[in-house]
Structures are given as structure tokens and as C-alpha cells.
Amino acid sequence: MIKVSDLNIPTLDDVNASDKKVLLRIDINSPVDKKTGKLLDDSRIKAHAYTVRNLLERGNSIVILSHQGRPGDDDFISLQQHAELLSKYVGTNVEFIEDIIGPYAIEKIKKISRGEVYLLENVRLVSEELIEAPPVQQSKTFLVKKLSPYFDIYVNDAFAAAHRSQPSLVGFPLMLPSAAGKIMEKEVSALAKIFNPEDSPKIFVLGGGKVSDTLKIIEHLAKNRVSDRILTGGLVAELFAVAKGINLGKANMQVLESKGLLSLVPRARKLLLSGAPIEIPVDFLTEKQSGEIAEEPANSVNGVIKDIGTTTIEIYSSFIKEAKVITLRGPMGIIEDERFRNGTKSLLKSAFESPGYVIIGGGHMISMVEKGIEINENKVHISTGGGALLLFLAGDKLPALEALHLSWVSKSGKS
């Protein structure tokens, strides 16, 4: 059992996860090369393989659910590549099933034997999965009603998606005995232990492209007074620059407009006026239509912003070096292009060299941690989560954890 504030989260031992038919939800959503459609990083796949191996050692058969990307985005692809990589890291064949709740998937699930592992297709192909709602409502979806009858237990290992109240994450725990997987258990236990509200100064380095999510997180961090300083990068920085009245130029305004982000400016401006400790870059690395790459001051940008500039790196690094806890999520630039990785790499280096404790999260951000560098586990926690990590650190209750708690209460009669 894991205790998280007033939630009791059952673990594999609490549901006797042995010799059972297990429905396992993991989060192997990974960065994708927009040009080739190939996965750019397999950190999450490698991490979740541990839970799959653990469940196999307990004599279970396993059917896995996960998502990749969001409909309409370039990274919304099939899980076929993921199954091949999972087979490699688990050390046994993970059969890819190109179906989710259709007759082919159901027939295969009915016949699965002990020791077999199936990975179903991208669960976000089921339209219900895109709707967030409370567990009771999600337990009545086609996805949950079609799959639940064929399993003994449900295991949620998807810490990185635990902030999503979607059917595959919160619907099954009311229908099946449920538990946290080994990655979920490890993340929640570690973060609850290392994140001491008393530690100060706490710095959050927040970048990336999930601006609406990150704005909500910053509102929570500011409201709960969890962060002493928030250093912004990526599209998040551009939103706050515009909110500060900085003219980023026509090209960048068009990027923000095309992503529907300008409607968030009033909320960002309100945060700035409230005195939230938010920093924005003083310079950017930009690319002109001619292809020329240049470093430009934030108040006279002509090219399309692709990364933060060196002066910003120096200023942010000086803040990082004074921090007791540094949490980084979301890259500073368009890291799919190696020309725009300097900002992210430089800040990661400053964090690793600082005396503070470092927490790193987010699929793209994790992919930037140099493969094979020596990570001092006493000083660095590499989370599989991004938004989920930040909301957990901001003190929010994650819907997937609440659903597991509800399942425990309803099935065990214990609170």
C-alpha cells in the first residue's frame, strides 16, 4: 500500500497479482520524428518493461493499453514500433494487436495464455478516450464495458498520464480489483519523499509545447506557493513574453495564433500581474525565412523562435545554481532539430552541476538527458511524467490515483 496524503493506493501485493489475467495500462507516449514517423526516444518503454517483467515473473498473462500522441498531431501514430521495443526490453515477445475493442482483439484476449503479453493499438483511436470525466462515468464507456469482463485485475502503471481522467486510466478501477504498477509505485513513493515543501529555493524550468497544460500548472504552483522562481522556455516562454507586452514579430505571433494560444494571454498576464515569480528569456535563437539562424534580443525578434539564447542560458543557469530543488519539464527549443538543443542541454548541465536536487520530467525532456551519463540517484530523479509530475508536485490529487483509492475502498471495504 502507498499512502499519498489521504489516499491509500493499492500495490500488486495488495491485489495478489499472481496467476491472473491482467489488464495493464502503461504510458509509452514517446517523442516522434515528425519527418520519418520514427520514435526518437524509448525511455518510457524501457522503464515500463520492468513492470511487465515483474508481472510475468508472477505467472500472469498481460494485455497492455497505452496511448501515443493526440489525434491530429504528427506524433499520433500506431503502437507497432512500441511493441517491438517493448519485446526487446521485456525479453519476450510482446504481440502487437492491431485492434482495441473490436472482435479481433476480444478473440485474442479470450485465448491468451499464462506468460503471454499483448499490446493493443493506440487507445486514443477510441473516441471515448479523449473525453475526461469522473471514474463512475468512465466505467460505463464501451472501452471499459467491452474489456473488463475478460480480466481478473487492472494495473495502472501510467504515472505520466495519471493527470488525465480518461476511461483507460480511471474507468477500470471501479470494475476490477486494481493496483498501481511498479513504475507508478516507484514514482509516487519517490516524489512524495523527496519533495519537501520546506526546501527552498525551489526552481521550476518549464518549456515545451503543451502551453495550456503548463499554464494551468503554473497557476497551481503560484496559488499553492510551491515555486520560488519559474524559468520559462519553449512556447510557454513565448506566451508569457506576449503577455508582458513584448512584440515577438509577425512570424511568431502566427505560430501562437495557429496553435490557438493567444486566447491564453489574459490568464498569463493575470499571473504576471499577481506577482508570480515568472522569468522569460531575454534573447532567443531564431531562424529566418532564408534559413539564417541568429541570436536576437527578445524585444527585437525578426526570425521564428526556435530556442532560447545564450544570455538567457547564463541568467537561468545562475538561478539554477542557487536552488535547493530544480524541476525541469518541457524543452527550451525545438529539440527534434539538433540545431536547437543548446538551450535545453545547457540548462540540464547547469542543474546536474548545481548543489541542488534535480527532478526531470516530460517525454521530450527525458530524451534530452544524455544517454549513458552517470545519474547520481541521490541527487537526480528522472520521472516518466511531465504534466502529471508537475501537478503532483503542485499538490494536486491525480485522477488515476484517486480512482485506485476508490477501487481499494469499494473492493476491500477499508478506507
Ligand X SMILES: Nc1ncnc2c1ncn2[C@@H]1O[C@H](COP(=O)(O)OP(=O)(O)O)[C@@H](O)[C@H]1O
Residue 387 parent element (H or E): helix 387-393
Interaction of residue 362 with ligand X15, rule CB under 6 A: yes
Cα-Cα-Cα-Cα torsion 108, 113, 119, 120, nearest 10 degrees, comes to 30
Q: Which of 303, 309, 331, 399 binds ligand X (CB under 6 A)?
A: 331
Min dist. Cβ of residue 302 to ligand X (A) = 15
Footprint of ligand X15 on residues 189-228 (CB under 6 A)? 210
- 228 Cβ neighbours under 8 A, 6+ residues apart: 200, 201, 202, 203, 277, 323
Cα 391 from Cα 213, distance rounded (Å): 10
- 19 Cβ neighbours under 8 A, 6+ residues apart: 58, 59, 60, 114
Cα 285 from Cα 332, distance rounded (Å): 10
Angle at which helices 234-243 and 250-258 cross, to 10°: 110
**Identity of the residue, 268 or 335, whose beta carbon is nearer to ligand X in the bound complex:** 335
Min dist. Cβ of residue 102 to ligand X15 (A) = 23
**Identity of the residue, 333 or 363, whose beta carbon is nearer to ligand X15 in the bound complex:** 363
Q: Which residue is nearest to ligand X (CB)?
A: 362
Instruction: Select the binding partner of residue 305 from ligand X15, ligand X, none (C-beta < 5 to 8 A, by kind).
Output: ligand X
Annotated binding site for substrate: 27-29, 44, 67-70, 124, 164
Instruction: Select the binding partner of residue 164 from ligand X15, ligand X, none (C-beta < 5 to 8 A, by kind).
Output: ligand X15
Cα 75 from Cα 357, distance rounded (Å): 32
Cis preceding linkage at 103, omega within 30: no
Q: For ligand X15, which stretch binds (CB under 6 A), given 34-42, 102-110, 249-257, 384-392?
A: 384-392
Interaction of residue 386 with ligand X15, rule CB under 6 A: yes
Closest listed residue to residue 365, CA positions, set 316, 391, 329: 329
Min dist. Cβ of residue 339 to ligand X15 (A) = 22
Footprint of ligand X on residues 194-253 (CB under 6 A)? 207-210, 234-235
Handedness of CA 331, 332, 334, 337 (dihedral sign): negative
| 8 A C-beta contact, residue 226 and residue 202 | yes
Residue 212: exposure state from Cβ atoms within 10 A (0-12, 13-18, ≥19): middle
The residue count for binding ligand X15 (CB under 6 A) is 12
Interaction of residue 364 with ligand X, rule CB under 6 A: yes
Interaction of residue 167 with ligand X, rule CB under 6 A: no
Place of cell 512584440: 247
Q: Which of 333, 387, 393, 407 binds ligand X15 (CB under 6 A)?
A: 387
Annotated binding site: 27-29, 44, 67-70, 124, 164, 336, 362-365
Interaction of residue 45 with ligand X15, rule CB under 6 A: no
Q: In the complex, which residues of this chain contact ligand X15 (CB under 6 A)?
A: 27, 29, 70, 160-161, 164, 210, 362-363, 385-387
Enumerate binding residues for ligand X (CB under 6 A): 207-210, 234-235, 305-306, 329-331, 333-336, 362-365, 386
